[in-house]
Copies of this chain bind each other. A is one copy, B any other.
Amino acid sequence: MYGAGDVRVETVPDPTIIEPTDAVVRVLRSCVCGSDLWPYGSMPASPEGRRMGHEFLGVVEDTGPAVSGFNRGDVVVAPFVWADNTCDFCAEGLQTSCRHGGQWGDPGVDGGQGEAVRVPQAQGTLVKLPGGEDTALLPSLLTLSDVFCTGHHAAVTAGVNPRTTVTVVGDGAVGLCAVLAAKRLGAERILLMGRHTDRTDLGREFGATDVIAERGAEGVKRVRELTGGDGTHTVLECVGTRSAIETSIGVVRDGGVIGRVGAAQYDEVPLGFDTIMRNITVTGGVAPARAYIEQLLPDVLDGTVQPGRVFDRTVRLEEVPDGYRAMADRESLKVIINP
């Protein structure tokens, strides 16, 4: 990406092992993230550009001498940051703050939207997948890289369980995955706030019991009407706008928890005296997908959950710029890339 609206597919040197902890992975599937749309909408023009893509799965092509447990030909999924998975933060399940980790697309590091990727800290980062290259499960497995784990993180940090009511703010791919995650964790009442019927219809299939199309103060009022005036115990904020966090505060029950996973486009959150009196908690953050992959994998493999249904368009590598455009224009919910 060279700036807002300017995505180019270019030929770059093939990745190779640089550090002994590296692996090289040929990409089988990648995708465009809702968070990629923020720079797509506003990135200042840059002569160097930035490698894009932080969600991918693929096949191990090569490993450095310090990488054990992976062989050429293994199918693997990469979480959306790389991490050693051994430091104290990783041991606590916060691989996003790994002391030796980093982000795809950082200077010198490939992005996932390409043919192949050099994977730093490969042994800690990658997770081996059963099923080979051809499984129909590839889209759902790909969501373990970010979007399903992100919805799950919102639900886990908010404390969703069978006794909690849930509001999901946002009907994008993360919001729909949050519905799925909340349902999987046993929530019986899941209110989905969104106004794109095709998306909220999928949300209902994923487990939403109510859909609220109204936004802002009207949306808050509607959620409160549906919950006897109280709001819900948990709110999963899956958008990242000021309006979404305001709505979240408006619909959360006293003593309740907002798990926010939207990439914040705001600097300030209105958490004044009223929220002190109401004992409101704001938690969540960028999802440590690596902490969740093994835990969620069995349900993906046996089809209990099908988060891959959020993909509604497949593009080849040369069509990636059009994939960005389609998502930005809300033509597509989420685009999967088959290089």
Residues of A within 8 A of B (CB): 89, 92, 94, 96-97, 157, 254-255, 257, 260-273, 275-286, 288
**B271 engages A92 (CB within 8 Å):** no
**B268 engages A264 (CB within 8 Å):** no
With both beta carbons as reference points, the residue of chain B lying nearest to A245 in the complex is identified as: B271
Once A255-B92, A279-B97, A282-B282 are accepted as A-B contacts, the answer to whether A271 and B271 lie under 8 Å apart by CB is yes
A-B contact pairs, 9 of them (CB 8 A): A96-B277, A257-B283, A264-B271, A268-B270, A271-B271, A271-B282, A276-B284, A276-B286, A281-B281
**Nearest Cβ in chain B — how far from A250, in angstroms?**
15
Kindly state the separation between the CA atoms of A264 and B260 in the bound complex, as whole angstroms. 22
**A276 engages B255 (CB within 8 Å):** no
B residues near A283, Cβ cutoff 8 Å: 257, 281-283
Q: Give the contacting residue for A94; candidates B89, B96, B254, B267; CB below 8 A.
A: B254
**Nearest Cβ in chain B — how far from A103, in angstroms?**
10
Q: Report how many copies the assembly holds.
A: 2
B residues near A266, Cβ cutoff 8 Å: 272
**Nearest Cβ in chain B — how far from A218, in angstroms?**
23
Kindly state the separation between the CA atoms of A267 and B267 in the bound complex, as whole angstroms. 13
B residues near A275, Cβ cutoff 8 Å: 264, 285
Q: Give the contacting residue for A277; candidates B92, B262, B277, B285; CB below 8 A.
A: B285
Kindly state the separation between the CA atoms of A265 and B92 in the bound complex, as whole angstroms. 34
**B282 engages A97 (CB within 8 Å):** no
B residues near A272, Cβ cutoff 8 Å: 264, 266-268
7 smallest beta-carbon distances between A and B, as pairs: A279-B285, A97-B254, A281-B283, A268-B268, A267-B272, A94-B255, A269-B271
Once A279-B286, A285-B278, A286-B279 are accepted as A-B contacts, the answer to whether A264 and B254 lie under 8 Å apart by CB is no
**B255 engages A89 (CB within 8 Å):** yes
**Nearest Cβ in chain B — how far from A221, in angstroms?**
20
**Nearest Cβ in chain B — how far from A299, in angstroms?**
24
**B276 engages A89 (CB within 8 Å):** no
Kindly state the separation between the CA atoms of A261 and B272 in the bound complex, as whole angstroms. 12
With both beta carbons as reference points, the residue of chain B lying nearest to A287 in the complex is identified as: B279
With both beta carbons as reference points, the residue of chain B lying nearest to A255 in the complex is identified as: B94
**Nearest Cβ in chain B — how far from A283, in angstroms?**
4
Kindly state the separation between the CA atoms of A156 and B280 in the bound complex, as whole angstroms. 14
Kindly state the separation between the CA atoms of A288 and B255 in the bound complex, as whole angstroms. 10
Once A94-B279, A255-B92, A283-B283 are accepted as A-B contacts, the answer to whether A267 and B270 lie under 8 Å apart by CB is yes
Kindly state the separation between the CA atoms of A277 and B266 in the bound complex, as whole angstroms. 13
Kindly state the separation between the CA atoms of A336 and B257 in the bound complex, as whole angstroms. 36
Kindly state the separation between the CA atoms of A269 and B127 in the bound complex, as whole angstroms. 37
With both beta carbons as reference points, the residue of chain B lying nearest to A283 in the complex is identified as: B281
With both beta carbons as reference points, the residue of chain B lying nearest to A258 in the complex is identified as: B282
